[in-house]
Amino acid sequence: MQRDPEAWDNPLEFQPERFMRDAGKVEYKGNNYNFLPFGSGRRICPGISLAEKMILYVVSTLLHSFEWNIPHGTTLDLSEKFGLVPKMQEPLIAVPIAKYSSSGHYL
């Protein structure tokens, strides 16, 4: 179904980055059927609007509930390596430390 060579370069290869190449030109909520694996038009994932709303609350809860540090003895290196999508030279490892001593604060 999603193997149309007119829509995709090398359609038989696993290339998840293909969805990021023209991300500004294509609206996944519209009727662009190149994004059919994710649903489109009337058949789009029904939970997408919930996910868009909930991500703000999930991230803010993580920031509020934990202190975030880097592992002891490491330095923070924000240098990037060149590529289709900018990536860090060294992966960022963040260690969460609970702010509250009682688990009842997290309910």
Q: 45 labelled as ligand-binding? A: yes
Helix and strand totals (H; E) in the chain: 2, 4
Instruction: Identify the CA nearest to 19 among candidates 37, 45, 42.
Output: 37
**Both tokens of residue 30?**
């519209």
Decide if 87 contacts 20 (C-beta within 8 A).
no
User: Which residue type, as a one-letter code, is found at position 88?
Assistant: M
Residue ranges for the binding site? 45
Residue ranges for the binding site for heme? 45
